[in-house]
Structure 1
Amino acid sequence: MTDVRARVALNVGTNSDIPAEIVTFKQFDVGNEHIALVFKQADLTQEAPLVRMHSECLTGDVFHSSRCDCGEQLDETINKMAVEGGIILYLRQEGRGIGLYNKIDAYVLQSQGMNTYEANRHLGFGDDERSFDDAITMLNGLGVTKIKLVTNNPRKINAIKEHVDIVEHVKTSAFVKKGNEGYLSTKARFGAHFIDLDD
């Protein structure tokens, strides 16, 4: 694992009581500091660990904003991996790759009636500007070749399936709350996300 820069034990989760390891990598520069959270040393002990590629969402992950369900999905994954082991690839690509300030600009447009995709296009971006090439690099650095992918997004599956053996697809729950109903519905209708809003 020569591609790993540092590997440090710490506790995570909403109560800071779940053992994990934070892993950094040699390939990424200061503007692109992706990290992995590894539970139960899953990269070393499991043939096909649970893996979630989670794109940074300051408003959701940190502030649990009503605009999305990113924080809830992250918390659910951490709790699941606390039991089963797994790896969270935390990718620094805020706002589906458009950055924090542009995401807030998109929020303004959404407040005026646009959906999340329309807002991105109005600002001159594609529906999703993210790349998952760095996630593949991180899995390679950890020596992981088979995974159970935790996602509701078919784009993530398609982005890495040629490079990693996805032996199982594991969906996350739909966390509907006041303020994100339209966002989730739009992702299901226009982004083909695997979200069942009837649950």
Structure 2
Amino acid sequence: MTADAGNNAVTVRRKVEIPVLGGRYLATFITFDNLPDGKEHFALALGDWQRDKPLVRMHSECVTGDVFLSARCDCGPQLEEAIVRISAEGGVILYLRQEGRGIGLINKLDAYAKQDEGLNTYEANRALGFEDDQRDFGVAALMLKALGLDHIRLLTNNPRKIEQLESHGIHVDERVGTRVYRNDHNERYLAAKKEEGRHALGGDDDCCPFHSKY
């Protein structure tokens, strides 16, 4: 499968089955050639992923949250939720190497230090000379096209992801909200995402403890 990426076509490089979440779910890890930004983005195909309008999650890498279950964000629980829900419904997780909304791990930790001085997550990025969100989801659209997926349901609370995908020719037929993983350490972070990032965070009925029940 291919997708246009300038002079080179984005193609599927390899598919490898890996049991995840302690072996409870089976994912097909899919890598790509010719991604225009040169990063090692990959996909996890789960369940009947080639179904009509599969459920898709674009998950940006978060070493602190995904690996170490940091309570300063909601990334780890959201990734686990995505694996479980998409396994049941059929779809794909695009794991995008865009740490810290595109500024990288080292700069993200610098931003955390700014947050400890009182700035919110967006103000901290600006103080370091970055934009609020430097991610470009055009590469995700190319990955989806290489997989033959151009009509999807998107698992997200972030309207910016929908806007970018649709501007690159992916039809988002439905937005499916993720749960809200609120704790004592990420209240200000979630509030900033709702107020400045326009994230559609639900009320208390949609909230879960920090570590997902899954």
Could you say which TM-score interval applies, normalised by the shorter chain?
A: over 0.9
- Cα offset, 1:28, TM superposition: 3.0
User: Given that residues 36 and 139 in structure 2 are in contact (C-alpha distance below 8 angstroms), is that contact kept between their aligned partners in structure 1?
Assistant: no
Identity of aligned residues (%): 52
Report the counterpart of residue 87 of structure 1 in structure 2. Answer: 92
Report the counterpart of residue 82 of structure 2 in structure 1. Answer: 77
**Which 5+ residue runs of structure 2 have no aligned equivalent?**
3-10, 206-214
**TM-score of the aligned structures, taking structure 1 as reference length:** 0.95
Alignment of 1:41-190 (within 5 A): 41-43=48-50, 46-162=51-167, 163-190=169-196
Q: 2:44 aligned with 1:40, yes or no?
A: no
- Cα offset, 1:161, TM superposition: 1.4
1:5-41 Cα offsets, whole Å, 9 max, x none, are 000111112x232011000001138950000000124
Aligned partners of 1:30, 1:191: CA distance in 2, in Å? 24
- Cα offset, 1:197, TM superposition: 4.3
**TM-score of the aligned structures, taking structure 2 as reference length:** 0.88
User: Given that residues 56 and 94 in structure 2 are in contact (C-alpha distance below 8 angstroms), is that contact kept between their aligned partners in structure 1?
Assistant: yes
Aligned partners of 2:195, 2:202: CA distance in 1, in Å? 11
Report the counterpart of residue 10 of structure 1 in structure 2. Answer: 18
* Regions of 4+ moved over 4 Å: none
| RMSD over equivalenced CA pairs, Å | 1.4
User: Given that residues 185 and 197 in structure 1 are in contact (C-alpha distance below 8 angstroms), is that contact kept between their aligned partners in structure 2?
Assistant: no
**Which 5+ residue runs of structure 1 have no aligned equivalent?**
none
Counterpart residue identity of residue 178, structure 1:
D
User: Given that residues 10 and 21 in structure 1 are in contact (C-alpha distance below 8 angstroms), is that contact kept between their aligned partners in structure 2?
Assistant: yes
Do the aligned partners of residues 164 and 30 (structure 1) sit closer, same or farther apart at CA in structure 2, a change above 3 Å counting?
closer
User: Given that residues 35 and 91 in structure 1 are in contact (C-alpha distance below 8 angstroms), is that contact kept between their aligned partners in structure 2?
Assistant: yes
Aligned partners of 2:126, 2:174: CA distance in 1, in Å? 33
1:151-192 Cα offsets, whole Å, 9 max, x none, are 000110110113111111100000001200110011001111
The count of aligned residue pairs is 196
